[in-house]
Amino acid sequence: MHNQQAFELLHDPFRNKGTAFTEEERLANGLEGLLPPTVETLDEQVERILKQIVRWDNDLERYMMLRSLQDRNRTLFYRVLTSDPERFLPLVYTPTVGDACEQFGHILRRSHGVYLPVTARGRVKDLLSNWEERDVRFIVVTDGSRILGLGDLGASGMGIPIGKLALYTACAGVPPRLSLPIMLDVGTDNEGFLNDPLYAGIRQKRCDDETYYAFLDEFVQAVQELFPKCCIQFEDFSMNHAAPLLAKYRDEVCCFNDDIQGTAGVAVAGIYAACRAKGESIGDQRILFLGAGSAGTGIAELFVEAIVADTGKTREEAMKHVQLFDVNGLLVQGRTDLMPFQKPFMADAPACDDFVEAIKSFRPTGIIGVSTVQGAFNEQVVRAMVEVNDRPLIFPYSNPTSRAECTAEEAYEWTDGRVLFGSGTPMPPVKVGGKMIKPSQGNNVYIFPAVGMAIFATGAWRVPQEAFLAAARSLAMQVPQSFFENGRLYPDRGNIRAVSLNVAGAVARTLSQLGHARNHCDDWDKRIAELAYRPEYST
């Protein structure tokens, strides 16, 4: 007789143990003969994966292997990731996920998550109901319109929600059963994909805004009805939709936008750490941004809020500490081409379309690149920063690596090793002062998984800006003092689990103090440690 239960067990990634099923479990579940007879430990299974992964020729193939592992055995997948975060996080997320998204339709093997096409308007709740888990706490959702620095990838952007949620678990211990990646397929204007026979999305141009916002509203309302304790993370939405969506929903439902708020949290953490390195306060800093989209304005907003909170300056005074520069030059009074979310950052300054001249005039202590323009922080730009600073902050935050404004090697060389550095994508080791160092990466991975864990622990129903300021401060305080000598501003990713749980504790306390928590606790650090998922087989 066909043993349906045994096959279901082997194909359930949450319950499958593969060769780690004991002899007793094999007998009880009808698994005898369906597995090789050797019973292995979880660590032995990890060792096999580690030996297999080095045989692949490139990181995209390693990404595909790990995704296949995720689909068949979640415990083993997360045990591999947590065994060496420095090695594996770049394989399941940036920079490799950028290549995976560009090739998504060609490497697709097994569907993961939920796809909601705009052609299903009026039936979104029905489609969402097909997901088997009823207790969903975290949704990462994208419409594929601005994937990393790669632009409109349509439904191929699904790799981003999948990767982000893997980091929720690997970095901060959010139980993987609680997460759901979602693609809102509203079409694509990418002609290459529309003409690609293996493209996995609907073959039509992006819908108009009226249809778009109605579809998004139907989605958000469906989530509230089906998953009332769920937090929605908006991810990689285009500039013209990201800020309006956050403004519309942030006070209505539990949600945040990682590109705006997570990026802001990690950037402000870098600025706080730089203050520690220089023995200065955040009120002493002036930041010039290259890029004035949702990420740039998001960082600027949180930086301004940090100055107000820490120094007692008014918002008007704090706003004088930031200037933003986009493709048409400095954001100044009188410009008529700005979107509503950019207008608060119009500087009372002369028009300027030369970034080096903007540096000489504003004399910033740091520059942050969110432009996706490779090489925009050229030697002239970096040396201009050295002329006005003893230790300049250089943050090329655009990713993937092919879109970074400069490399770590360039930043260290052109500043004679005096730079305080953070990149948005992993950079190879650099020789500084006769020794090799690993440049700091200011990746959102330090922020959003920890914020997610805090939301899970507290049962928060809203995610205020103060949560990201708390995360930034906690992260900055965890940078070892010894790192500052070599311009490093972020902890090692090898310690990301411990760092993330500390950040989560700080955020949980803030959420509780502000009255946003459903749950109550006297020791949030202890509670979060108890809740954190550990990749171990249940007995």
Q: What is the pLDDT of residue 399?
A: 82
pLDDT tens profile 372-417:
999 999 999 999 999 999 999 999 999 878 899 999 999 999 999 9
- The CA–CA distances, whole Å, from 157 to 147, 251, 426 equal 6, 27, 21
User: 392 near 419, Cβ under 8 Å?
Assistant: yes
Catalytic residue flag (residue 164): yes
Model confidence at 2, pLDDT cuts 50, 70, 90, reads low
- pLDDT (mean) for 493-501: 95
**What average pLDDT score do residues 470-492 get?**
96
What integer pLDDT is reported at residue 3 of this predicted model?
A: 81
Three-state SS string over 111-174 comes to CCCEEEEHHHCCCHHHHHCCCCCCCCCEEEEECCCCCCCCCCCHHHHHHHHHHHHHHHHHHHCC
pLDDT digits (tens, 9 = 90+) for 392-403: 999 999 987 889
Residue 525 pLDDT grade (very low, low, confident, very high; cuts 50, 70, 90):
very high
Report the percentage of the chain scoring pLDDT > 90.
Answer: 94
pLDDT score of 394: 98
Residues 130-139 have pLDDT tens digits of: 999 999 999 9
Q: Identify which of 301, 276, 285 has the alpha carbon closest to the alpha carbon of residue 489.
A: 276
Domain architecture of the chain: domains with CATH: 4-81 (1.20.1370.30), 92-253 (3.40.50.10380), 262-449+464-492 (3.40.50.720)
**Residues 155, 156, 159, 164, CA torsion sign:** negative
- pLDDT of residue 425 exceeding 90: no
Please pick, among 17, 63, 78, 93, the residue that the annotation labels catalytic.
93
From CA 535, how far away is CA 517, in angstroms rounded?
27
Question: What integer pLDDT is reported at residue 1 of this predicted model?
Answer: 40
The token pair at 185 is 């397929």
**Mean pLDDT, residues 214-230 taken together:** 98
Report yes or no: 411 and 377 within 8 Å, Cβ to Cβ: yes
| Other CB atoms within 10 Å distance of the CB of residue 530 | 9
Which pTM value belongs to this model? 0.94
Reply yes or no on whether 205 is catalytic: no
**69 Cβ neighbours under 8 A, 6+ residues apart:** 49, 76, 77, 80
User: Given 17, 115, 164, 272, which residue is catalytic?
Assistant: 164
